[in-house]
Amino acid sequence: MTTPTMAMKVLRSPRARRSSTTFLISAVFLGAVTIAAIFASFLAPYPPNQVDLLNIQAGPSPAHWLGTDALGRDTLSRMMYGARTALLAPLLVVVFSTIVGILLGLLAGWRGGWIDSVLGRIFDVIFAFPALLLAIMAVALFGKGLVAPVVAMSIAYAPFVARLTRSLIASERSRPYVAAYRVQGFGGGFIALRRVLPNVMPIVGAQSTLNFGYVLAELAALSFLGLGVQAPTADWGAMVNEAQSGLIGGYFLPALVPAVAIVLVVVAVNVIGEELSDRIGGEIPA
């Protein structure tokens, strides 16, 4: 049996195995961060806002593994609690933008015609607003915090998902299996939602995984600017912001720990997203 799919699997497997080390490390790392975030109240050595006046801006010690900040709060504990907003907010953005993007992309790609042109024009306008700029504008309108930015970023990212879905759907639409369903008398809605959509979902999912990394960095930047998560709530971006004054005084740790964590999470997400799209790339002709 040498069906194309089997041949492809045989060809693909060595490559998949080779790159799986970085993939595994990234997945384990993200899993650990997620567990630390979910179970922060059990795992963290201190409450996030507990002040230790005897240990202000202290270096790593058995009592404070990652030292303390300018108010004497335990950096490790704040990192664990801070992972909650740092991960949850981008997750919401990715989920919202993916759902909205898929629906709009499906509509544009499947129906075509004037719906496609109107949606395309709207997407063009939204593309002209970088996501972070839209988030900053949302804060200017609705006040500081993460609610308005999460909505704004979802709007900013939905067109990316929609345009990808649209092009995938448009190329699927002309393939023989769609015609076969048509001939058998299946309705357009059924074919689009139940037969075509599942075929394009993996590629869209891989793209959304990559988006997660960008959104995480952008929302952290927003909190760094003092426009997102507000003190005293622990959040990675806000922690870097609060540690800025200590930085000039030569005390780097409270700023560097959350900064490095953000970079590591973004790298891990990129590794996973890129490998996912590589794997899928062999199976679904776009």
Partner 1 sequence: MTTLRRVAGKLGALLLTLFLASLLVFFSRFLVPGDPVSFLLRGRKPSPEAVAQVTAQYGLDLPPWQQYLNWLTGVLQGDFGRSLQYRQDVSQVIGDRLPVTLGLVVMAGTMIAIVGLTAGIVASLNRGKVLDRAVLIGLTVLGAIPSFVGSIVLIAIFAVQLGWFPSFGSGEGFWDTIYHLVLPSIALAIVFVVLVGKVTRSSMVEQLGREHVEVATSRGLKRGTVIRRHVFRNSIGPILTVSGVLVAGLLVASSIVEAAFGLAGIGSLLVASVDRLDFPVVQAIVLLIVTAFVVVNAIIDVLEPWIDPRAAAGAGAR
Q: With binding defined as CB under 8 A, does residue 150 bind partner 1?
A: no
Q: With binding defined as CB under 8 A, does residue 273 bind partner 1?
A: no
Contact map string, positions 85 to 124, toward partner 1, x by CB under 8 A: ------------------------------------x--x
List, in order, residues 6 or more apart from 64 with CB less than 8 Å away: 45, 52, 55, 58, 74, 75, 76
Q: Is the Cβ of residue 54 or residue 125 nearer to partner 1 in the bound state?
A: 125
Q: Report the C-alpha gap between 192 and 15 in whole angstroms.
A: 33
**Helical segments of the chain, H only:** 4-18, 20-38, 40-43, 75-111, 113-127, 131-142, 147-173, 176-183, 188-190, 197-224, 236-242, 244-248, 253-281
With contact defined as beta carbons under 8 Å apart, do 89 and 135 qualify? Answer: no
Q: With binding defined as CB under 8 A, does residue 128 bind partner 1?
A: yes
Instruction: Check the CA dihedral 238-239-240-246 and report its sign.
Output: positive
Q: With binding defined as CB under 8 A, does residue 217 bind partner 1?
A: yes
Q: With binding defined as CB under 8 A, does residue 151 bind partner 1?
A: no
Residue from 139, 158, 192, 210 binding partner 1 (CB under 8 A):
139
Q: Which of residues 8-67 bind partner 1 (CB under 8 A)?
A: none
Q: Is the Cβ of residue 40 or residue 152 nearer to partner 1 in the bound state?
A: 152
Smallest distance from partner 1 to CB 80, Å = 20
